[in-house]
Amino acid sequence: MGSRIIGTGRAVPPVSFSNQDLERQLDTSDEWIRSRTGISSRYLMRTGESLLDIATEASRHALDKAGIKAGELDAIIAGTVSSEYAFPSFACQVQRTLGVTSIPAFDVAAACSGFVFALSVADNSMRAGVWKKVLVIGADALSTMVDWGDRRTAVLFGDGAGAAVMVSEPGPRGVLETLLRSAGEAWDLLSLRATGVRASADSEWRRDVADTLKMRGPELFKIAVKSMADITRQVVERAGFTLADVRVVIPHQANIRILNAVADRLGLPYDKVFVNLERYGNTSAASVPIALDEALEAGRFGDNDLVLLNACGGGLTWGASLLRW
Ligand code: ACO
- CA 298 to centroid of ligand 1, rounded, Å: 31
Indicate whether 200 pLDDT > 90: no
Which pLDDT score, from 0 to 100, does residue 308 have? 98
Indicate whether 81 pLDDT > 70: yes
Q: What is the pTM of this model?
A: 0.96
- Average pLDDT score over residue span 11-22: 97
User: Of the candidates 140, 64, 44, 46, which has an alpha carbon nearest to the alpha carbon of residue 293?
Assistant: 64
Pick the more confident residue, 201 or 237. Answer: 237
By CB atoms closer than 10 A (0-12, 13-18, 19+), residue 53 is: middle
Question: What's the chain look like in SS3?
Answer: CEEEEEEEEEECCCCEEEHHHHHCCCCCCHHHHHHHHCCCEEECCCCCCCHHHHHHHHHHHHHHHHCCCHHHCCEEEEECCCCCCCCCCHHHHHHHHHCCCCCCEEEECCHHHHHHHHHHHHHHHHHCCCCCEEEEEEEEEHHHCCCCCCHHHHCCECEEEEEEEEEEECCCCEEEEEEEEECHHHHHHEECCCCCCCCCCCCCCCCCHHHCCEECHHHHHHHHHHHHHHHHHHHHHHCCCCHHHEEEEEECCCCHHHHHHHHHHHCCCHHHECCCHHHHCECHHHHHHHHHHHHHHCCCCCCCCEEEEEEEECCCEEEEEEEEC
Q: How many domains does the chain have?
A: 1
- Average pLDDT score over residue span 147-176: 95
Calculate Rg over the CA atoms of the chain. Answer: 18
- The number of beta carbons lying within 10 Å of the beta carbon of residue 197 is 14
Residue 94 in contact with residue 78, Cβ under 8 Å? Answer: yes
Indicate whether 262 pLDDT > 70: yes
- Average pLDDT score over residue span 205-209: 83
Indicate whether 194 pLDDT > 70: yes
Atom number in ligand 1 closest to CA 156: 46
Q: Which residues surround ligand 1 with Cβ inside 6 Å?
A: 28, 32-33, 36-37, 112, 151-152, 155-156, 190, 215, 217-218, 220-221, 224, 252, 254-255, 257-258, 282, 312-313
Q: Tell which phi-psi region holds residue 91, choosing left (phi > 0), alpha (psi between -120 and 50) or beta.
A: alpha
**Structure confidence by residue, pLDDT tens digits, 26-79:** 999 999 999 999 999 999 999 999 999 999 999 999 999 999 999 999 999 999
Residue from 18, 146, 152 to probe ligand 1 pocket by mutation (most atoms less than 8 Å from CB):
152
Which pLDDT score, from 0 to 100, does residue 1 have? 87
> What does the alpha-carbon distance between residue 304 and residue 76 come to, in Å, rounded to a whole number?
26
Give the residue numbers spanning the domain of 149: 1-325
- Average pLDDT score over residue span 293-303: 97
Indicate whether 196 pLDDT > 70: no
Which pLDDT score, from 0 to 100, does residue 225 have? 97
- Report the chain's mean pLDDT, rounded to a whole number: 96
Least confident of 165-179, 205-219, 311-325: 205-219
- Cα 275 to its chain centre, rounded Å, is 13
**Structure confidence by residue, pLDDT tens digits, 110-151:** 999 999 999 999 999 999 999 999 999 999 999 999 999 999
Which pLDDT score, from 0 to 100, does residue 199 have? 84
Residue 310 in contact with residue 248, Cβ under 8 Å? Answer: no
Q: How far, CA to CA in Å, does 170 sit from each of 1, 152, 217?
A: 4, 47, 43
User: Of the candidates 321, 324, 270, which has an alpha carbon nearest to the alpha carbon of residue 136?
Assistant: 321
Band (pLDDT 50/70/90 cuts) for residue 195 is low
Residue 243 in contact with residue 233, Cβ under 8 Å? Answer: yes
Which pLDDT score, from 0 to 100, does residue 208 have? 86
Which pLDDT score, from 0 to 100, does residue 267 have? 96
Indicate whether 272 pLDDT > 90: yes
By CB atoms closer than 10 A (0-12, 13-18, 19+), residue 242 is: exposed
Q: What CATH number should be reported for the domain holding residue 160?
A: 3.40.47.10
Atom number in ligand 1 closest to CA 154: 7
Q: How far, CA to CA in Å, does 19 sit from each of 5, 148, 149, 204, 281?
A: 35, 14, 15, 21, 10
Which active-site residues does the annotation give?
112, 252, 282
- CA 158 to centroid of ligand 1, rounded, Å: 16
